Structure 1
């Protein structure tokens, strides 16, 4: 048993020793311990290969296959398959164990020999019995008896030439071959096999003669393809195509099916010349049925990159929504190639380079190629898809995004690559920072159709906040919100949607001031009746606005509407506002209660609205309020058990009635009378009041003078309450609040980005109509929502912007080589129209979302088209970092080249020195 110096058993050494000793139990133990039978040693051989090629190792082969070894394993250095190793063993049990698992490529060649050819060629008198059984096994599992070696000898030809084996054994093998219905004894070496059979065994019945002019059918062409003789196939196919062309009118569909089967076989076998010959006939390369696999899909599955390249350039190719080519090839990138023509990596590159392939194609489960790359942990493929513009916000049928399992560093590195410059010097006025949003916006084709053709409602607007909303919710990815790519995109989205926010904020502020003023004047019965009526009118206008706003939200997204607590609170606010403003017939006390709750709801709603303002200090304080409130409620929900426990203890100890029968009624002490006048709140005589009193005491308001301590137990319970509840618990809650506020202050800028993301996501959810209501897909609502919400394609035609850091951080929108969403003649629906080529302006300044109104922020500071300075600084720092990294890489390359030159010179000097030494020795010998 193999072990290292520390005494630990080496599973790989244990596996090798077990195979050498033929100990199957130890072999299984080593495999279960983590040993790998297909791990190559220094000589590029594996234990799996040794087991296959060693007689009597059927059990070891079965153990290897059950632990993950492939029946079609190929030694990449020797290009030798598992079936060839098994044939080398000349052991029928080894071969049977491998073939029993199914799917073995029995005609895989090694050194121009198939396993059947190799066995027949190496047939001797000593191994005749074992080799004969192996030949019979291969023929039973579909090995072709017609494949030839480099000398154009078939296996039967080798048997007939063999003079080393006994006559009976030879006759049995010949009869075994003659039983094969597809046997061809006429096509090779001018029919020598038939002639030898007639001369040596005239009594044997032979297959019908295949004359050169005999009829060629599809089955014969398929056999020729499987035999691998492309020269013969081309000759036969020309004759077959000429015969078929004469009957094309009657058998068009049948001929197409036969040609398609031939095309599929040529793709599977990697026969490029045969493939091109079939393709030149004008065959329909698109499947007639949805269930059929198209040739282009077959080429991807088998990794035939040459056929795939030819098909992608074919003018008749039509890729449907069911052709998930990228998904198919990504799932096979880690597999070993089954033949020389297989190259799934090259197929992947061809699909990416083709403009016919949708990089965001989704399968039935909604998984896009980027999801497959992340699923199979293929980082290089994921990076390449991101570079090609794969959308990171494509949801699957289960609501998952491609970036959920992606390494944050990979995503961050790609985001860094999306920040570039125009190549000018950093100090020039024309220096631009180019920010590319190719992965944040779903790419659309010229027809305006989304890449996601099979998913989603046809009238549903595309949302653009989905990936950023997930980033904001993920603790691992949240820091990326401060990346210049994300922060600038949030700036653009806010620039589009800010008009809705500020308009809503203004109208609601007027409503808040009006209804509070009207309520105060009404319930204090002010003499200013005209003023009360005026504010009442303003309140009713505000209520109408709220109703219209909520009706629009409900109509646009009915299912999403009732999932929001804020929406339900707004409905309650509308109802209470109407009851407060109307002249009610119920009593004053009820009116006052309704007015109180109305003012509370109005204030809470106004506070939430103010907290959504894009001001860092305001959003930070609002986040602190939410965090502390949430933390307190969660903590107090658990600790309320102790509050309830102590309130019951106080009720039992201090809530007993004060009865003194020995004293007359009129001699009641003064303090007792005072207690009766003040009620039972301080005496714990009512359970509910006892609970409220205990909660008040938790804050430190004890009123211990009103508590009657009549025993040592009452003191003990009260002191326990003071220690555990007032000192420990209350300070614990305060500590949690301080901790939450400190954490929020430490990442104030990140929290501000989170607040803005949540606000924009909420607005976009309403405007897109997530549940696909008809009102969103109808005009003019669709055009209005698209104008206010979507940044691409009707606003950013190239999915990128330019920032001028040396010109006030102005934002420019590139307009070159793009298509702008414009109405035709002002009547027909909007469609993509090319920009006029005579236009000299290639970029335009960032304009307001609504051209009839100035941008909201430009009214205050005139900076509508300027991005915030922090984003620009981060982008410049990122560009400098990438520039320094590139310079270091170039310096390292130069140093490596210099080092190589120096090493080469040293080698030359050593060579010269050796020559001089040799010359000196020769001269010394001669002298």
Structure 2
């Protein structure tokens, strides 16, 4: 061949062509021209029978054979290939690839058809110094594999080949199994002298585990245990067993006892998706997973379980275990439910909620799990918390079961709160978030939430009504006392009586706000406008008893005091769980907010017109007949900017008093006319329309708004945590405080909402009737028929009997 004519061809392509066509002359010519063989082509040449010439050519041209070249040459089952390679690379005859030496790989692929080729290759390897005693990961030596294939024709010849090796060891591995097989199948052959077995160590056990021979591991472990090794050495074996999925080995190790304190067996089982090992570990009596660790692993599983069925099974195992506390925050201060919500894993959220995950756990940065849960997932789960018995709704023993497992904080054992988070927590926080969220507030009418609110109200209603009574007495006393003193009344006895009650009321308010500030809320106290107004009220009420030289100051203080007292009283009355009262107070609040928002923008026009009137009407018209009583009083006109602004606002209501204005030009008429049309007609009617719209919306959702009001009241009282305050008073070193605490405890006994409640709505019980059944009966039937929580109804009927479930 004329190589000059093919010089344009890629040398690498020529090499591949020569190999494919087995053209040794072209192959040598291309190598001589400087072409380099790819590593993959080396392996292909070595494993292809009849390639000894190519191997020699590669070696002659500086071919770089790698460490596993001998194994590739042996896999060709061509003694000539192996001979050609060993001439240049006589070393690495014992190099392991996938735990197999060349001898092991040949013994493992031994069949009736290739027995003669295997025999020839083995002779070559042994002649070049290959060891006959190196086992694989199952402790099988080459002779062990040969003995397991006793139907091969050259079987005895192969056995004899190994028995001729002077360093052959047939006793150290697998408890002398090779010697036993030789004695059974070849009793006529002389065997090497019996050797003493080497002492069992951890490395041999780990090697057996990796090989997968668990029966051998059981024997070796029994021997290893008798050598009195420390049980801490079992950790590596258990970790390896978990990783490799050796369930029998796990049972063997656990049956012999192990210390679980310092090792992360649970995390390894979860990481490798070994749900069987995870289930077995959690069933171990001495196993108690570290709380933060288990929460971290649950959070990790939420990510892994999305694409892996094994990890989904691990997640199910953790959810079924009573040892796992799903409400414990992780090291990053996130509960598993919060993490599932943040990652959007709906399946994990559903399983965690079903397991009883608490939706009110505070996480960092102070967020709630409920904030990350879609409303449809939450509503579907709330529906599952309401169960009915098999009797019809009009049967006498018809029963409604309500499960509050997600609204109350329980420990891992479904009992009292576990120690790591046995601190004060706000059970109303998630419900308060529902009330604020437009997407979730309709759930306040769900039977589960409405029942919970009713139970909360039964607990705190006495405190609420006591506070309302005391404040009502204070309001009547201070208003009466202020009016009597301002008007210099002669009813001294009444003044004295109202003064005493006013002082008692101020003292009560001071103690109440001090408890909120110092014992409960801390700096959060100052975030509430209501709290700040109450502090200002205490200050103003105290100042009304101070004597001022200026009577006007005294009157102003008295007026502001009565104003703030009345506002506080209205807010307190608006918190009553009466539908009509709460609805009207909510309308007042919403209309006020809407007006302030709208008027904040429109105030630009008010300010503009007040400046225009101040410029156009700087002085009032001169009047001939002036009333002597009004002489010396300040006129209510546009002469001063502040007075002009006030009068402009008053004119918006319709009090124009156009006859008192002195129009000097046509421009003043036009500006005044524009004010009348734009401000008193358009703007005022616009504000009225917004108010009407708000009131209609509130009336259409009266029951929902009542639930929101009740939620806000309960949140405020729950935040102050009455039980905690009473407990602190009872522990006080001062007798008077202990007496007060005992009195409060008699009024508000300790009450814990049961986790489950059973209601029998068709059983009369007028003595202990419950509002809960009155509301739930229609709602539960509506829900059972496939209705949604957006259309819950109330039902007023007989009082119903209810009882906590055991």
Q: TM-score, normalised on structure 2?
A: 0.73
- Is the alpha carbon distance of 1:175 and 1:272 closer, same or farther for their aligned partners in structure 2, counting shifts above 3 Å? farther
Q: How does 1:848-927 map to 2 (within 5 A)?
A: 865-867=770-772, 869-881=774-786
In 2: Cα distance, 1:194 partner to 1:279 partner? 45
Of the three residues 703, 722, 725, the one matched with 1:749 is 703
Alignment of 1:69-88 (within 5 A): none
- Which residue number corresponds to residue 695 of structure 1? 649
Describe the shift of the 1:777–1:481 C-alpha distance in structure 2 as closer, same or farther (beyond 3 A): farther
Whether 2:443 is the aligned partner of 1:480: answer yes
State the partner residue of 1:846: none
Helix, strand or coil for the counterpart of 1:434?
Answer: strand
Structural mapping, 1:108-507, within 5 Å: 159=75, 161-162=77-78, 165=81, 167-168=83-84, 175=91, 178=94, 185=101, 199-200=124-125, 202-203=127-128, 211=169, 212=172, 213-243=197-227, 245=228, 248=229, 252=230, 256=232, 258-284=233-259, 286-288=260-262, 292=263, 294-324=264-294, 325-336=297-308, 343-444=310-411, 449-451=416-418, 454-455=420-421, 458=422, 460-507=423-470
- Is this contact kept in 2: 1:497–1:788, CA < 8 A? no
**Where does residue 757 of structure 2 map in the other structure?**
801
Are the equivalent residues in 2 in contact too, given 1:681–1:689 (CA < 8 A)? no
Describe the SS at the equivalent of 1:352.
helix
Q: Secondary structure at the match of 1:161?
A: coil
Partner of 2:537: 573
Moved more, 593-602 or 567-576: 567-576
Count of residues in correspondence between the two structures: 668
CA distance in 2 between counterparts of 1:577 and 1:308 reads 66
Root mean square deviation, CA, Å: 4.3
CA contact (8 A) 1:511 1:539 kept: yes
Deviation of 1:440 (Å): 1.1
Structure 1 gap segments, 5+ residues each: 1-54, 56-89, 95-115, 146-153, 338-342, 659-667, 811-861, 883-927
Mean CA deviation greater in 496-505 or 392-401: 392-401
The counterpart of 2:524, out of the listed 560, 569, 578, is 560
Whether contact under 8 Å (2:475, 2:569) holds in the other structure is yes
Separation (CA, whole Å) in 1 of partners of 2:499 and 2:435: 42
Corresponding residue SS for 1:805: strand
Give the drift of 1:483.
0.9
Q: Could you tell me how far 1:723 is from its partner in structure 2?
A: 2.8
Where do 5+ consecutive residues of structure 2 fail to align? 1-15, 17-36, 111-117, 136-168, 173-196, 733-737, 788-806
Instruction: Check 1:122–1:157 CA distance in 2 against 1; reply closer, same or farther (3 A cut).
Output: closer
Bigger CA drift: 623-632 or 263-272? 263-272
Between the aligned partners of 2:743 and 2:405, the Cα distance in structure 1 is 24
Question: 1:319 aligns to what SS in structure 2?
Answer: coil
- Structure 2 residue matching 1:322: 3-state secondary structure: helix
Q: Secondary structure at the match of 1:807?
A: strand
Counterpart CA distance in 2 for 1:615 and 1:553 is 26
- By percentage of residues, which structure has more helix? 2
Within 2, Cα distance between the matches of 1:156 and 1:671? 128
Q: Per-residue displacement from partner, 1:503-553 (whole Å, max 9, x unpaired)?
A: 111111111111111122222222222222222222222222222222222
Name the CA shift for 1:358/1:468 in 2 (closer, same or farther; >3 Å).
same
Displacement of 1:407 in angstroms is 2.3
Q: Which has the larger Rg?
A: 2
Structure 2 vs 1, CA of residues 629 and 556 (structure 1 numbering), >3 Å: closer, same or farther? same
Post-superposition offset of 1:689:
1.1
DSSP-derived class of the 2:577 partner:
coil
SS in structure 2 of the partner of residue 435 of structure 1: strand
Matches of residues 494-643 of structure 1 in structure 2 within 5 Å? 494-557=457-520, 558-580=522-544, 582=545, 584=547, 586-643=549-606
CA displacement at 1:784 relative to structure 2: 9.4
Q: Distance in 2 between matches of 1:224 and 1:726?
A: 95
* CA distance 1:181–1:873, change in 2 (3 Å): closer
Secondary structure, in 3 states, of the residue corresponding to 2:763?
A: coil
How big is each residue's C-alpha offset from its partner over 1:837-889, in whole Å with a ceiling of 9 and x where there is no partner? Answer: xxxxxxxxxxxxxxxxxxxxxxxxx765443623322123323549xxxxxxx
Which stretch shows the higher mean deviation, 582-591 or 544-553?
582-591
Output the CA distance in 1 between the equivalents of 2:315 and 2:594: 50
Cα offsets for 1:810-846 (capped at 9, x unmatched): 7xxxxxxxxxxxxxxxxxxxxxxxxxxxxxxxxxxxx
Map 1:782-821 onto structure 2 (within 5 A): 795-797=752-754, 799-808=755-764
> SS state of the match for residue 464, structure 1?
coil
Could you say if the C-alpha distance between residues 868 and 281 of structure 1 is closer, same or farther in structure 2, counting changes exceeding 3 Å?
closer
* Paired residue secondary structure (2:401): strand
* Conservation of the 8 A alpha-carbon contact between 2:239 and 2:268: yes
Look up the SS of the partner of 1:562 in the other structure. Answer: helix
Give yes or no for contact 2:322–2:412 (8 Å, CA) kept in 1: no
How far apart in 2 are the matches of 1:526 and 1:560?
Answer: 43
User: How far apart are residue 224 of structure 1 and its match?
Assistant: 4.0
The correspondence of residues 817-836 of structure 1 with structure 2, limited to 5 A, is: none
Distance, in Å, in 1 between the alignment partners of 2:756 and 2:219 is 56
Partner of 2:372: helix, strand, or coil? Answer: coil
Deviation at 1:706, TM superposition (A): 2.3
The CA deviation at 1:454 is 4.1
The question of whether the paired residues in 2 share the 8 Å contact of 1:555 and 1:773 is answered with: no
